[in-house]
Amino acid sequence: MVARVRGGTSPAPDQSPPPPLQAGEGKSIVPPPPAGEGGEGAGRAITGGWLALVAQYVAFPAAVLAFWQVCAQIGFIRRSVLPAPTDVALVWYDLVTGATGAAARYSGTWFDHAAASVWRVFAGFTWGGALGILAGLIIGLSRLMERVLDPTIQVLRNIPVTAWVPLSLVFFGIGNAPAVFLIGLGAFFPAAVNTTHGVRQISVTLTKAARMMGANQRELLIRVILPGALPSIMTGVRLSMGIAWVLVVVAEILAVRSGLGYLLNDAYLFYRNDVVIAAMLSIGILGFISDRIVVAVRDRLLEWNRLETFSGQN
């Protein structure tokens, strides 16, 4: 048995493995972004021009709507139980504009409800997400703080946020306060956990290199830890945003008399399933828009990360 004293001469692949800098496990939580413009080779290979592109986006939702319309039309399910897409569209139009009165007592109230929900999501997401990132950084940076804080966070994380509803109502009463509290609580955990993960998967070679070049603790944090953890932080922020929209509905059903969740629940009590569905779709669309905003911010900040990670095939 002889050691490979000249082991270096065996040809190794020219590409050394890319440093393990990307979000790692974080990537498995959220699927990679669709191969959009900007990624290497993306966008170019879609065949058939813009019409085909539009068709690719529209085909599936159109099929779902058509199927739903047919089901409602043939009377398979009663119209008042499952209104047709056209019924929902008409009532939605009145919800927004107040022009036809189709939504009766809800006519023209959409913007007020939507604004109330958006505000609550924004407020809760902001405090919960910011505090979560801060806690994640502290735990990620310090083994001591990990021992002090992490067990508590892990236990609390496993309590469904909905279980906090009774206590938060007792503490904060009816109104915005319990809603913003619950949303923030829900937004806190994904941000905290993913930030910790992001800090802990930064390559030790990079932190060593920065220290060698003379970086102090503050410079190490700002120039290495934060950018290195950013892919994972953004994954956490995205999950936080998703949870915020779940909890805003829970909070509005239970704690306040405004918002899309309240509208949905109130319409249910008055047996207006068309309004219920319009409210559901409104929540879906607003949630989708806020997710797109987070993704756009992420892609802007993390253009470099797309070079290192798989972005899907065309």
Partner 1 sequence: MARISLSRLGKTFASRHGSVTALAGINLDIADQQFIAIVGASGCGKSTLLNLLAGFDTATSGEIIVDGAPVCGPGPDRGVVFQQTALFPWLSVEENIAFGLRLRANRHKGSPETVVERMLQRTGLAAFRSRRPAELSGGMRQRAAIASVLAINPSTLLMDEPFAALDALTRSIMQDFLLEVWEEERKTALLVTHDIDEAIYLADRTVVMTAHPGQVREVIEVDLPRPRRYEMRSEKPFIALRDRVTGIVREEAIKGAMEIAA
* Binding footprint of partner 1 on the chain (CB under 8 A): 1-16, 18-19, 21, 203, 205-206, 208-215, 219, 223-224, 227-228, 230, 302, 304-305, 307-308
**Separation of alpha carbons 179 and 256, rounded Å:** 8
Nearer to partner 1, 231 or 261 (CB): 231
CB of residue 204 to partner 1, shortest distance in Å: 9
CB of residue 227 to partner 1, shortest distance in Å: 5
**Separation of alpha carbons 146 and 153, rounded Å:** 10
CB of residue 4 to partner 1, shortest distance in Å: 8
**Separation of alpha carbons 186 and 242, rounded Å:** 10
**Separation of alpha carbons 131 and 136, rounded Å:** 8
Nearer to partner 1, 12 or 163 (CB): 12
Give the list of residues 6+ apart from residue 63 with CB closer than 8 angstroms, or none: none
φ, ψ for residue 52 (rounded to 5)? -65, -40
CB of residue 240 to partner 1, shortest distance in Å: 22
CB of residue 212 to partner 1, shortest distance in Å: 5
Nearest Cα residue to 130 out of 257, 286, 241, 266: 241
CB of residue 216 to partner 1, shortest distance in Å: 8
Nearer to partner 1, 8 or 160 (CB): 8
CB of residue 305 to partner 1, shortest distance in Å: 8
Q: Give the number of other CB atoms < 10 A from CB of residue 70.
A: 11
CB of residue 232 to partner 1, shortest distance in Å: 13
- For the chain, what's the residue count? 314
DSSP 310: -
Q: Give the number of other CB atoms < 10 A from CB of residue 101.
A: 10
Please name the amino acid found at residue 178.
P
DSSP code string of 93-119:
HHHHH-SS-TTGGGTT-HHHHHHHHHH
Nearer to partner 1, 12 or 269 (CB): 12
Report in angstroms the alpha-carbon separations of 19 from 201, 205, 235, 289: 10, 9, 19, 33
Nearer to partner 1, 4 or 75 (CB): 4
Nearer to partner 1, 207 or 265 (CB): 207
At which residue do the structure tokens 């990679």 appear? 32
Nearer to partner 1, 171 or 304 (CB): 304
Nearer to partner 1, 9 or 152 (CB): 9
Q: Which residues of 266-304 are buried (b: 16+ CB within 10 A; e: fewer)?
A: bbeeeebbbbbbbbeebbeebbeebeeebbeebbeebee
